[in-house]
Each structure stands twice: as structure tokens, then as C-alpha cells.
Chain A
Amino acid sequence: MSRLTPLTKAPVAEGSPAGGGAPGPTIDPATDRPNRRKRVTTDHLVESIGSALASLAIVWLVFTVSGVSAPFGLAVAWCGVFFAVYAVVCWRAHGVLLMKDRLGTVAIWLGGLIAMVPLAGVIGYVIVKGASVALADFPHFFTSDMSQLTASAPTTAVGAGAAIVGTIEQVGIAAVLSVPLGILTATYLADSRSLFSKIVGYVVDAMTGAPAIIAGLFIYLFWVAPRQHSGKSGLAAGMALAVMMLPVVTRAAQEVVQIVPGSLREAALALGAPQWRVLLRIVLPTARAGLMTAVILGVARIAGETAPVLFNAGGNETYNWNPFSGQQDNLPFRIYQLIFQPGVNVIKDAWGVSFVLVLLILILFVMARLVGSSRPGRRLIPRFSRSQPE
């Protein structure tokens, strides 16, 4: 019966299988192989694919008979019925425990795949809608401004150039304001255990989750409102973005600074280096790749923020290269304006600007990844020198 018969019970001589009734633990070298657990067995494949096909057939039949035509609904119903069919199959074949395992695995993969759908969906949709607008007559959309925009203007008459300039300058101002402050604060938070540093740590966390519109409102009240009409400028928008970027940079820098090995710092301090030199010559160079990644990611995040710049940049349909005086344009701001503007082609223009914005952010994101994958302490950009001979 059982293969787990105790050894003591049946010391049967080899070659007489029918000896004492119960089969003994005869060790046959031909069949006794270690039982390796396979990841996916044939049974497993047959059961899952079979269940998938069976449930598809059921759903298809029901939908066809009832005359409903809804591809998306069919997919959802298929998932539901598949769960039921697969549950029954696994339960009959393997019992409850393995059924739960199989269903759990399917649910987790399904959830993970669903999380990917919106990303592909949104980027694909922007490319489909916007690429033809932005890439027609290629550099034109990237260089011309919105001054030719009328209710009936063709998409080739306008461009996002002014908004690109504004976004780059405002994000640059935000980075200049927030990166040094963030790194210094992070150094302080990483080193100090005082009550003050705890409070500052909480504040940084609190600001990380603050709504974007609050940053815009604050800078409006703090900077724009007292200056009346001259207040709206690239600088004001940059300050609002800096408020958004500061906690992101601080948190990321704190994590990176804490990774720097303590022995390195201690060695420098023991050699008599003052603390500021330790920060500038040891900690920051070691953490360079991580810091750059954090800064670029932070820039990518705020480049797409609309709410902070809404009340502060002012918007400008023509080029304004000077962020310190006069209203300036901005990519997300321009999208927002275009969506609410009447006109035949205006929505197409908005998709074009969205395409430019997504393109900019994808470039920044890929840059951050490339920088992040270089090892700490190494050069960010490899020197183009001849390789050393062996």
C-alpha cells in the first residue's frame, strides 16, 4: 500500500516481490531517483491551460447565445469563470491546500499584470494622439510658440517651444533652490539624534504627502499676491516647484547618505579632517550616483506638476527667456489651458503638448536609471580613454 512502510516490518529478500504480502523497501537502482521538485509540471500546464480554454468556451457560449457583444466584459467574465473552473479542477486533483496555492498564484500574477495596464494605456494613448501632431513637420512643434493660436488655427501653426523653455527654466530654479538645502538637511538628519532633527524629519515626511495645490497656493499668497501683476513669473513657479521638490530630495539624500559606509567617514575624521571636508570630499563623492538619481527623479516628478505653477507662472503665448520678469509658459500649464480653450484643433494641440511633456519625462527617467546603475564613486560618464593593456 504505502511506500512509507517501516524498515523493520518486512525484511524481504530481493527478487521475491510476493514474499510477505506487503511490498518491502526494495531499492531498485533503476527507479530510485531523487525526487526533484519541478517548477511547472505537465499536469500543472494541462490543468491551467485546460481550465482557461474551458472557461473561455463557457463565457463565449453564454455571450453569443445571449447576444451580448462586449469584448472588455468578456475578458472580465473570462477571468471570473476561469477562477471557478480552475478552483474545481485543482481541488478535485490535488486537494484544498494546493488549490489555494494555485489560485493565490494566479491572483497575484493577475494583479501585477493589471498594474501594468494603465501605464501602457496612458503612454500608448498619448503617443497615438500626440505623436502625429508633435512630429509633423518635425522640429517646428518644438520650436514655435502659441502666438498663432486661434479658434481655427491648424496644428502646424503652433508649437510648444515657449512652454519647453519655461518648464526647463522653472525646474532649473526649483532644483537650484531645493537640492543644496535638501542635501544639507539630509546630512543634518543623518548625523543628529536631537529632538530638533526628529521634528524636522517629521516635517519632511509631512511635506512629502502634501497636496500639490497647497504649494501653489502658498507661493501665491507669499510672493505673487503682494506684488500684484508683476508677481507672476518663472521665478514664482520655480519656488512653488521647489517646495514640492524639497522633501523628495531630502528623503532620497538621507537614504543615500546613510548608505555611505561609516568606516569611510570615521577614517577621514580620525585622520583629522574637519566635518565639512568629510561631507564634501568623502560622503558626497561616494554617494554621487545615488544623489544624481534622486535629483533627476525629483526633477522628472516636478516637471509634470500643474497645480503649483497654475497661479504663479501666469502663462505666456510667446517666448519669454527671462524667468525673473514677466509671465512665463510651462508645459503642464499649457495643456491645462488648451483643454479648456474653444477651437477646432485645440484638443489636438493639447495632445501634442502632452506628447512633448511625456517625452521629456521619459528622457529624464531613463537618464536617472542610467546614472543609478553606475557604481558609487565611479565616474558618471566613463572617460573615453584606451583600455589598459593586460
Chain B
Amino acid sequence: MTTVVEMPMEPQSVDEDVPIELHQSDTGADRAFRIVLVVSSAIVLAILVAVVVFLAVDGWPALRASGIKFFTGATWAPDLGRFGMLPLLVGSIAIAIVALVIALPISLATALMINEYLPPRLRPILTGIIDLLATVPSIVYGFWGLALISGLQAPWAKWLVDNFSFVPFFRTPQPGTYVNSIFACGLVCAVTIIPIITSVSRDVMSQAPRDVCEAAMGLGGTRWGMVTDVIMPFSRNGILSAALLGLGRGLGETMIVVLMLSTSNKLTLAIMGPQGLGSIAKQITQDFPTATTIDKSGLVLLGLILFVSTLVVNAIARMVVNRVGRTA
């Protein structure tokens, strides 16, 4: 046989198993895209830095003029050259604390109600209502507080002052009047911080291990027992951080305080009436448009202090909430 068996032409390296080099597609477009991402993040960072720098630079003259007295002085009288921020800072903190004391139990009850007690069909509706509570503008809350709540709470404030004035808080700086007080402001501010506390604590509570909850119920425990013995211990840190976030929000609350509070920037413990403690946000809002140069500088410095204190409170809150996953 002389037939030559012709071998078919071998296709070029189809069967050869040559590994392809894998590398991130580093085309020009992709590199540009990554740069865009980093730049946009850098802009966000730059805004925060710029806020701090601008406030610090413009606040410096007031700090140089008054020195350490700025932090320890109890008189805020820029026209006399006296900057003492104590009554303002203490007032801001007092409003935030009153708001927190009122809002915390209500928010926790709401969070538990939505998570554990409501039929699942109703949950989105209630969540929506709480979201809506956060969306109503604070100037509307302030206007409502000024027109309605300040008057409604006055008899209660009077009752507290009449019967419990041995507690230094339950007194009024201006005897006989109980409206437009730190307490009234805190009452309305509580409404604005209920949504944040509720939503953060709901998130944390829903992370409580479901199997342990069901085991508690399965062993014959009551639902309240499940709440106090499983959910609460698990979400203790989260609730603390929710409360801190609420406190930070209350510290920075502006329009409610501007509209409702009547103050003479006096350093006092009495919070049930007008003409007592002041508020940083109120002072800035009211005086800034008509202020002179050095006065403006003092107000800017106040703003910086308010900003830094809310940043610190929020940072602590975030640190606490980030520990939740690890402890439980």
C-alpha cells in the first residue's frame, strides 16, 4: 500500500493548555474611573476638613480676645467684650438631655412594638409613620411648639414646680411663668429624636438571635420574659449608641429652640421657665445676621464647639454600636 495517509493539519495549539495570564483589566478607562471614585471620596473628606478649618480660622480672634475665659465664663455679652459660653453650652446639653429622657422610653417601646408585637402586615406602615415623623421640618415642629405645646405644658410645669421644687431642676428662673422654657424645648425636641432612636434600636433588636428568642418562648416563657431576658441584654450596646445618636441630634437642634426658647443666658439649674439657660444654636441664629466682626467671630467659635461636641458624641455612639457584633 502506497497510499500516503495524510495527517490532517494540526490546528494551531488548540489543545495545548496554555494558562492565560490573569490580571486586573487596567485599561485607561478603568484607571480613570478609580481615580474619579477616590477623588469624590476625597471631596467628601475635604468638606469636613474645610468646615473645621473655616470655623477655626474665623473663630480664632474671639478666642485670642477672651482666652480661657471663653470656656469658663458665665456671661455672654459680646458688646462688652465678654465671651463666656457656659450658659449656652449647658443650655444646649440640658435641652438634649430632657429630650433624651422623654424620647428614650417611648422609642424603645415603639421599636419593640414594631419588631415583636405588631402583626407583620402592619410593620411597614408603622415604619413609614416613624419615617414621616423624621421628615416633618423642624421649623414646623418649632412653630407648633410655640403656638400650642408651650402653653399646654405650662400647667404641668407649674405642678412640678409647686410640688417638687426641692429638686433644683424643677424651678423657674422667672417665678410665675412656665412657658418658653428649656423643658418645653426639650419636650418638642424629643419628638424629633424619637425616629432616630427608634430606627437604630430596631435594627439592633432585630439582630437578636431568633433561635434563642424562640427557645425562650418554647420553654414556656412569656413574651415579656423574652424581651427582658433575650432581646434587651443582647441589644444593650446598640440601645446605648442609639441614645447617644439621639443626644447628638438634640444638641444640634436649631429651629425648635430658636422659636421656643426665651432666654437671658443666665447660668442656672432651673429649667421650668423662661429667662434661664441659653442655647448655642439659638445664639448663632439670632445674633449672626446683625453681629459685628468680633461678635461674629465669637459666634463662629461657638459653632465650632457645637460641631466638635456633636462629632464626639456621634463617634462614641458609632464605636459602641460597632462592638455589638463582637460581644453577642
> Is B284 in contact with A206, judged by CB distance below 8 angstroms?
no
Interface of A is mostly: helix
Known: A112-B114, A212-B254, A217-B284. A354 touches B54 (CB 8 A): no
Contact B30 A275 (CB under 8 A): yes
Interface size of B by Cβ–Cβ distance < 8 Å? 90
Given A184-B36, A184-B37, A350-B143, A122 and B136 contact (CB-CB distance below 8 Å): yes
Interface string of A294-317 (1 = CB under 8 A from B): 000100110111110011000000
Q: Is the CB of A210 within 8 A of B311?
A: yes
* Distance from A189 Cβ to chain B, minimum over Cβ atoms (Å): 7
B44 adjacent to A305 (CB under 8 Å): no
Q: Which residues of B sit under 8 angstroms from A300, Cβ to Cβ?
A: 135
Asked if A361 contacts B38 (CB within 8 A), the reply is no
Interface SS of chain B: helix
Q: Is the CB of B128 within 8 A of A111?
A: no
Instruction: Count chain A CB atoms within 10 A of each CB in B51, B112, B314 and give the residue with the most.
Output: B51
Stretch at the interface among B9-17, B74-82, B161-169, B221-229: B221-229
The verdict on B107 contacting chain A, using a C-beta distance below 8 Å, is: yes
CA distance A180 to B45 in the complex (A): 15
Residues A211 and B194 in contact, CB atoms below 8 Å apart: no
Q: Are A184 and B50 in contact (CB under 8 A)?
A: no
- The answer to whether A101 and B225 have CB atoms under 8 Å apart is yes
Identify the stretch in A58-66, A138-146, A155-163, A193-201 within 8 Å (CB) of chain B at 4 or more residues: A193-201
Interface residues of A, count at CB 8 A: 88
Known contacts A211-B310, A217-B284; A181 and B43 CB within 8 A of each other: yes
- Is A206's CB under 8 angstroms from B223's CB? no
Decide if A75 is an interface residue (CB 8 Å cutoff).
no
Residues of A within 8 A of B138 (CB): 212, 304-306
**Contact mask B1-35 → A, CB, 8 Å, 1/0?**
00000000000000000000000010101101110
* B207 located at the interface, meaning its Cβ lies under 8 Å from any Cβ of chain A in the complex: no
Top-4 shortest CB links A-B: A111-B109, A304-B137, A211-B252, A104-B224
- Which chain B residues have a beta carbon within 8 Å of chain A's beta carbons? 25, 27, 29-30, 32-34, 36-38, 40-45, 47-48, 50-51, 54-55, 58, 105-110, 112-114, 116-117, 126, 128-141, 143-144, 146-148, 152, 155, 191, 194, 198, 222-225, 227-228, 245, 248-249, 251-255, 258-259, 281, 284-285, 288-289, 300, 303, 306-307, 310-311, 313-315, 318
Question: A-side interface residues toward B, CB under 8 Å?
Answer: 70, 72-73, 97-98, 100-101, 103-105, 107-112, 114-116, 118-119, 121-123, 125-126, 129, 180-181, 184-185, 187-189, 191, 196-197, 199-200, 202-214, 217-218, 220-222, 243, 246, 250, 272, 274-276, 279, 297, 300-301, 303-307, 310-311, 332, 335-336, 339, 350-351, 354, 357-358, 361-362, 365, 369
Known: A204-B44, A212-B252, A274-B29. 4 other contacts (CB 8 A): A181-B43, A181-B44, A276-B29, A301-B135
